[in-house]
């Protein structure tokens, strides 16, 4: 079951990367219906285009986008089945964790509903960001499930006790940063500031937090390419940058404390992945969001979250020795 959990974890990472690819290639509405594609089980063939376009006249078939969307759905469906299989395996094994696999089943069902609403609500930013967070939560919990089946590591060095709280705070700070990233992407605010390190123009006097963080944007037929005006998008972008600074400081403090307490492997993992993520974020801005960089920025955010799950697990597992 441990190996199958690892396989499912890897599959979840693939689904997250496919989701980022779909979002970043503007293929989220590549199939305007759900769960089918223009009413078909697979992407409509050339000879079916006329019928497909009669069903959805406002959305001519674009094969590349439809394929991106459907591949994401098929692989996500496979992930859902693997999670269900994990829950059934755990149920039959007396020593296996029981609650976590079924929590994952519930989450993956909700995630499928969010995937449906992403399409039916025409990329409403709250749903798009929620779908991203759902994916990250599934990944983090699968990793936790794998850790719980892994051999126990030795007792912690003395003095690491207070680090547990710092690790939880750092995870909270990182989650806010991931949400802000998802909000940046879902509101098409990625290119609202093009200069570094500070946004161009009189940005500070034009901030509009109310419009930027209102959960529901002004009603629109579709939210593809964003509906917020420039000050709101710029505010979202700037917030993601400023919170990145706070995240970096908190995570570096955690890494420093881990290092001095002898947990060097954990300290190096957090620092290394954080540095990579910051470089990818900066490259996003400098090079105007190249697709591979933007997809990698999403994937490395997921890895950063996993590094903190590992740190928390290590620090809090001490209760088993006490």
Site of interaction with ligand HEM (CB under 6 A): 20, 23-24, 132, 177-178, 181-182, 184-185, 190, 240-241, 244, 247-248, 274, 277-278, 281-282, 284-285, 289, 294, 297-298, 301, 304
Distance between the two ends of the chain, CA-based, in angstroms? 28
> What is 244-258 written as a DSSP string?
HHHHHHHHHHHHHHH
- Kindly tell me which of 101 and 281 has the beta carbon lying closer to ligand HEM: 281
Q: How far, in Å, CA of 287 to CA of 274, rounded?
A: 20
Smallest gap from Cβ 243 to ligand HEM, in A, equals 8
3-state helix, strand, coil in the chain (%, to 5): 70, 0, 30
Catalytic, out of 53, 58, 62, 69 = 69
For residues 278-306, b (16+ Cβ closer than 10 Å) or e, as one string? bebbbbbbeeeeeeebbbbbbbbbbebbb
- Kindly tell me which of 13 and 248 has the beta carbon lying closer to ligand HEM: 248
Smallest gap from Cβ 24 to ligand HEM, in A, equals 6
- Kindly tell me which of 86 and 250 has the beta carbon lying closer to ligand HEM: 250
Quick count: other Cβ atoms within 10 Å of Cβ 78?
Answer: 14
Beta bridge partners of 40: 37
- Kindly tell me which of 84 and 252 has the beta carbon lying closer to ligand HEM: 252
Under 8 Å between Cβ of 61 and 44 = yes
C-alpha distances (whole Å) from 164 to each of 79, 178, 216, 262 are 32, 21, 36, 14
- Say whether 69 is catalytic: yes
Secondary structure of residue 54 in the 3-state scheme: helix
Angle at 315 between CA 92 and CA 247, to 5 degrees: 110
Smallest gap from Cβ 300 to ligand HEM, in A, equals 8
Tokens of 254: 């955690």
Smallest gap from Cβ 191 to ligand HEM, in A, equals 7
- Kindly tell me which of 39 and 231 has the beta carbon lying closer to ligand HEM: 231
Tokens of 108: 């993956």
Smallest gap from Cβ 318 to ligand HEM, in A, equals 27
Beta bridge partners of 37: 40
Smallest gap from Cβ 139 to ligand HEM, in A, equals 12
- Kindly tell me which of 145 and 294 has the beta carbon lying closer to ligand HEM: 294
Catalytic residues: 69
């Amino acid at each position: 079951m441990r190996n199958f959990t690892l396989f499912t974890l890897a599959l979840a990472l693939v689904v997250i990367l496919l989701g980022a690819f779909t979002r970043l290639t503007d293929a989220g509405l590549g199939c305007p219906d759900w769960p089918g594609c223009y009413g078909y089980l697979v992407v409509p063939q050339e000879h079916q285009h006329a019928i497909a376009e009669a069903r959805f006249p406002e959305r001519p078939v674009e094969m590349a986008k439809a394929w991106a969307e459907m591949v994401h759905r098929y692989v996500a469906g496979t992930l859902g089945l693997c999670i269900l299989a994990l829950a059934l395996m755990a149920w039959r094994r007396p020593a296996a964790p029981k609650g976590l696999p079924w929590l994952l089943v519930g989450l993956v069902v909700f995630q499928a509903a969010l995937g449906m609403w992403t399409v039916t609500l025409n990329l409403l930013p709250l749903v798009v960001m929620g779908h991203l967070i759902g994916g990250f939560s599934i990944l983090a919990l699968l990793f936790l499930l794998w850790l719980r089946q892994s051999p126990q590591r030795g007792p912690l060095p003395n003095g690491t006790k207070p680090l547990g709280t710092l690790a939880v705070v750092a995870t909270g700070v990182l989650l806010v940063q991931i949400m802000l990233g998802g909000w940046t992407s879902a509101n098409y605010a990625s290119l609202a500031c093009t200069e570094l390190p500070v946004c161009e123009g009189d940005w500070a006097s034009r901030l509009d937090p109310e419009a930027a963080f209102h959960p529901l944007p002004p009603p629109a037929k579709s939210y593809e390419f964003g509906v917020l005006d420039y000050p709101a998008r710029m505010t979202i972008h700037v917030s993601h940058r400023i919170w990145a600074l706070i995240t970096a400081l908190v995570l570096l403090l955690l890494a420093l404390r881990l290092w001095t307490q002898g947990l060097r492997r954990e300290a190096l993992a957090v620092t290394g992945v954080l540095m990579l993520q910051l470089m990818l974020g900066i490259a996003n801005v400098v090079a105007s969001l190249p697709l591979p960089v933007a997809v990698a920025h999403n994937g490395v955010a997921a890895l950063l979250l996993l590094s903190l799950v590992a740190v928390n697990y290590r620090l809090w597992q001490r209760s088993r020795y006490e």
